[in-house]
């Protein structure tokens, strides 16, 4: 990209000259142009070499402009965490400060614990939570409660909320960070405030490691961020299903943050069934269902080591199929002699529906 910098410098130089003389009488600006290849060592001994080089340069430039594919892909590690989420490291501030952020595709805002007064009241250990120190950054500024952006978080009653949180919060509602997160939150949902929108990404992809590698500093997967997609937009060997728009978004804008896909069918043990429980040959554990809020649960008479469950497969629009590992849809509870299905409805009443 050196040519871009040269062009920018030249335009800046011309802009300065024109601005300088515009206030006085009209002037003629003369710029001396030098042939590009006259000083080439072989230009005199081979008269056609210069012409050949000029033609080659012109063709190369035209080909570059026509088939320009800038390398706009960026990868960052994704870390599995014991609290159940996955985190990425991002830098904020000037000079930069690095913090872990929970990768969240179900929200659009970007949070980070800020100021030395931040306290995660619902965390097991909040003393080790990295905190952004605004006074150490020359590019940060406080947002007062009268700023409309505060309503993104607290709603229309933002002023009274800020006053309840802290006496000094009225002049700085950005100090009132969520008290329930052990790290920052990187909102990757659909929305103008989300991190992908702010970075002008055209697409992103990620792979989530098993939680057996939780908190590992060396074993990670990748989050790939792209600002320019290839022409076909698809990778060989990868199955795809199209995204949908939720028709209820107009009535409830909050639903617009999510990504929606069409689940055509659920296949259990190679059979398309309406009830999962019919494919499991264990006794229902009704008490465990009441205790843990999961359903259905089963008593493992022979123990967890010999337990066997039917395969669960999701089939999506477009032909994509996803086979789930047993650990992704069954979990041991209690003393380990009961297993519960961990797929639940988004409606509390859905627990009683056939599964």
How far, in Å, CA of 250 to CA of 256, rounded?
A: 8
* Residue limits of CATH 2.40.70.10 in the chain: 73-226
For 7-37, what is each residue's pLDDT tens digit? Answer: 333 333 333 333 344 444 444 343 434 344 4
Residue 42, C-beta contacts closer than 8 angstroms, at least 6 positions apart: 49
Q: Check residue 135 and give its pLDDT.
A: 86
How far, in Å, CA of 69 to CA of 61, rounded?
A: 13
262 band by pLDDT with thresholds 50, 70 and 90: very high
Q: Check residue 123 and give its pLDDT.
A: 64
Sheet with strand 73-80: strands edge to edge: 110-111, 184-187, 97-104, 86-92, 73-80, 221-226, 203-206
Q: Check residue 153 and give its pLDDT.
A: 59
pLDDT > 90 fraction of the chain, expressed in percent and rounded: 6
The answer for 237, left when phi > 0, alpha when psi is -120 to 50, beta otherwise, is left
Q: Check residue 281 and give its pLDDT.
A: 66
- Among the listed residues 157, 195, 188, 192, the one whose alpha carbon sits nearest the alpha carbon of residue 173: 157
Residue 52 is given by DSSP the state: H
Q: Check residue 54 and give its pLDDT.
A: 56
- With beta carbons less than 8 A apart as the criterion, state whether 114 and 184 touch: no
For 279-331, what is each residue's pLDDT tens digit? Answer: 666 777 888 878 778 888 888 877 777 788 888 899 999 999 999 888 888 88
Instruction: Tell which wins on pLDDT, 118 or 77.
Output: 77
39 band by pLDDT with thresholds 50, 70 and 90: very low
* Model pTM score: 0.61
**CB count, 10 Å around CB of 300?**
18
Q: Check residue 315 and give its pLDDT.
A: 93
Q: Which CATH class is domain 73-226?
A: mainly beta
How far, in Å, CA of 193 to CA of 195, rounded?
A: 7
> Could you tell me how many residues make up the chain?
355
- Considering 46-55, 159-168, 189-198, the range whose residues carry the highest mean pLDDT is 189-198
Residue 149 preceded by cis peptide, ω within 30: no
31-35, 210-214, 257-261, 334-338, range with the lowest pLDDT:
31-35
- Tell me how far CA of residue 91 lies from CA of 40, 95, 137, 184, 234, in angstroms: 46, 9, 12, 11, 30
């Amino acid at each position: 990209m050196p040519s871009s910098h040269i062009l920018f410098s030249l335009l800046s130089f011309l802009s300065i000259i024109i601005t300088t003389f515009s206030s006085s009488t009209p002037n003629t600006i003369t710029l001396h142009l030098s042939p590009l290849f006259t000083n080439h060592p072989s230009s005199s001994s081979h008269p056609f070499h210069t012409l050949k080089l000029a033609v080659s340069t012109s063709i190369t430039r035209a080909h570059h402009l026509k088939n320009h594919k800038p390398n706009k892909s960026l990868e960052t590690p994704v870390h599995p965490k014991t609290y159940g989420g996955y985190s990425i490291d991002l830098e904020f501030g000037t000079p930069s400060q690095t913090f872990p952020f929970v990768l969240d595709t179900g929200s659009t805002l970007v949070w980070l614990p800020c100021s030395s007064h931040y306290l995660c009241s619902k965390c097991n250990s909040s003393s080790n939570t990295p905190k952004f120190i605004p006074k150490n950054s020359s590019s940060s500024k406080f947002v007062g409660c009268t700023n409309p952006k505060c309503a993104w978080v607290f709603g229309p009653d933002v002023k009274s909320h800020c006053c309840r949180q802290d006496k000094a919060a009225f002049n700085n509602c950005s100090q009132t960070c969520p008290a329930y997160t052990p790290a920052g939150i990187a909102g990757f949902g659909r929305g103008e405030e989300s991190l992908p929108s702010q970075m002008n990404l055209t697409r992103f992809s990620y792979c989530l490691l098993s939680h057996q590698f939780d908190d590992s500093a060396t074993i990670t997967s990748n989050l790939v961020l792209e600002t320019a997609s290839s022409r076909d937009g698809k990778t060989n060997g990868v199955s795809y299903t199209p995204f949908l728009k939720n028709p209820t978004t107009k009535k409830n804008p909050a639903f617009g943050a999510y990504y929606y896909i069409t689940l055509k069918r659920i296949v259990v043990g190679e059979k398309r069934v309406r009830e999962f429980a019919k494919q499991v040959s264990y006794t229902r554990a009704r008490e465990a269902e009441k205790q843990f809020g999961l359903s259905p649960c089963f008593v493992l008479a022979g123990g967890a080591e010999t337990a066997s469950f039917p395969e669960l497969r999701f089939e999506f629009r477009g032909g994509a199929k996803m086979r789930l590992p047993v650990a992704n849809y069954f979990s041991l509870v209690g003393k380990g002699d009961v297993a519960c299905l961990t797929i639940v409805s988004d409606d509390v009443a859905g627990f009683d529906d056939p599964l």
